Structure 1
């Protein structure tokens, strides 16, 4: 039965191992007088063990070559088998000589095993061999939680404590996930640092617990960012812009970004609204989103309404225009519903500015 392509390298490795052991045995036999190595030749000739080993190795190599050529023709395969049977000693002689091999030759034969090339784990195998492969035991079931690893990781312990603290402050799981998604640096905070930040906003802004929680959920970078811009803007609202504390609370709960807005932008927007458009504080407080609008957009629309005679921002008078509509709607709707003009007229007016 012909060997498959996958089995040839394994067969050749076994031949090398068998040939090496037989060579060791024949080396001992060549040094003993009266032993016949080949038919018609006597071992009484003065031959060293090295020469005998080389002569046998040459004939063994010839035997391996004859076997390789037997894959092309059956006739050469039969000659190779007869030659191999001529070279190798009988079974009885092998068993007798094996018992006489000293320990040094055993160590030598073990050293020869290092020369054998290891079998590659990527070597292809047949279906029959694959069925006989014993698979490793299955892995333990996959864990869907980190509960088993918390005790072995300082980072996981801090995260668990952080989440437990937020849950104790009545933050929902949705709130926590939203805060972490919008401000990932929050995960680096300790419980003490996070508690100090929450206490600062509640005390500085004089907000209730619920309003403080809603504020940081909507803008979690208030907790992770610097507190200096917040302190500076609070002074601007009170001292420079003249807003009362309750008015500031109302605006920042509606638009949390006002706590971190640019100071120059805040003052310029308020100055134009209050001193040019003559809008009082209590109207501005109702529409704090005007501070998030670009100032040039407010100027363009106010000047166009003034040109048309429709700039009226007092809710107690007719044709009232709210600040929300002034800054939030697109140009097409602004021209049609507020200015009562066409977009082309508005664009022509902007070219005159």
Structure 2
């Protein structure tokens, strides 16, 4: 009889344990799902492990890292499991008392407070383990190759300043004195500069300019006005320099011409030769005089010929100068060829019609055609107010046109007007 009762009690106990295991399975399933999400961690944490007889114990599992969220989920699921087990233990207390002598009792379940405390201690330990994996720790070459970082260079921009810190070429150009804000306003120039490699494309051209004789301080000026020189082949650049030297331009003159006319080396030899021939034939100049005006104003070889042809016609037809007079004026002041047509006509009209200066005197002092109209007008009116506006060299108190426009204000007042500088400034306010 006693044996039968013990058999029945054992069966009931096993059923209770299975029911208890079933009730907790849902909780463990949810906890297991979360555990699967963080299995990539690299630390050791305590989790509940199910054993064959339906009881639970604490075991070790290796994970890749720990976090505070794992701690919170552990506390939550441990507390929920403990509540289920404690409620089941109260209901089946009489059954456990009957089978205590036959079933090996597990270690007593931890109260919720103890579970939370153990979890906090374990998380604290794991955080210390994670702290050992510092961002400053050295890694292997294989791990470094596997690291991918997004590009910080903007895919598109309306300003080159967004790329200066990322592009070695732009950084070095800024250091040379290149004005990028001027270049970015020109179509396609910004994209061209970003595609250039400083060591392969830019540095060889700069070294070439230095060998020609261009000073380092002029590099920024040249590239700002002619960035396309960075795309010219070194062979073409050398060929054009050799051509200029073959026309008896000295090395110093070539360096000066390149520094003041950045586009000079972008034109082929044929174009340079045609330009030199044009000035020599159109103006009837000798070879030395042609070389002289081009050396003094090298942009004559770079710009369009149409404005120059128009100025020559203005001087001959509208202003009434003869061919030999135009030749003399151009040799003395080459800028007349590139001067603004309206300004040139305005100055001549004031000289010839207001000041009554004849053509031969203007030809003798052609620098007056290159002066500022306002300066010429103010000084003549001041001299006329004082009764000293006399420009005929055959009469007394003659005033040279050259001195009239070239002297500074103070010298003009003391030497020509015989007045004080304050008087001249007061007179200017009346105009």
Q: TM-score range by the shorter chain?
A: 0.5 to 0.7
Q: Which residue in the other structure is 2:263 paired with?
A: 185
Residues 174 and 349 of structure 1: CA distance in aligned 2, closer, same or farther (over 3 Å): same
Taking the aligned partners of 1:281 and 1:238, their CA distance within structure 2 comes to 12
Q: CA deviation at 1:120?
A: 11
Unmatched runs of 5 consecutive residues or more in structure 1: 1-115, 122-142, 147-152
Q: Which residue in the other structure is 1:211 paired with?
A: 289
Taking the aligned partners of 1:161 and 1:352, their CA distance within structure 2 comes to 59
Which one of the candidate residues 208, 218, 222 is aligned to 2:300?
222
Q: Which residue in the other structure is 2:47 paired with?
A: none
1:292 lines up with 2:370 in the alignment: yes
Q: CA deviation at 1:341?
A: 1.2
Q: Deviations over 1:174-229 (max 9, x none)?
A: 11111111112111111111111111111111111111111111111110011111
Unmatched runs of 5 consecutive residues or more in structure 2: 1-138, 145-203, 209-230
Taking the aligned partners of 1:156 and 1:273, their CA distance within structure 2 comes to 50
1:336 lines up with 2:401 in the alignment: no
User: TM-score if structure 1 supplies the norm length?
Assistant: 0.56
Q: Which residue in the other structure is 2:355 paired with?
A: 277
Q: Deviations over 1:60-112 (max 9, x none)?
A: xxxxxxxxxxxxxxxxxxxxxxxxxxxxxxxxxxxxxxxxxxxxxxxxxxxxx
Moved >6 Å (runs of 4+): none
Residues 154 and 271 of structure 1: CA distance in aligned 2, closer, same or farther (over 3 Å): closer
Which one of the candidate residues 308, 313, 316 is aligned to 1:238?
316
Larger proportion of strand: 2
Name the count of aligned residue pairs.
212
Q: CA deviation at 1:162?
A: 1.3
Q: CA deviation at 1:119?
A: 9.3
1:254 lines up with 2:302 in the alignment: no
Taking the aligned partners of 1:117 and 1:304, their CA distance within structure 2 comes to 85
Matches within 5 A, 1:310-329: 310-329=388-407
Which structure is higher in RCO with an 8 Å CA cutoff and minimum separation 6? 1
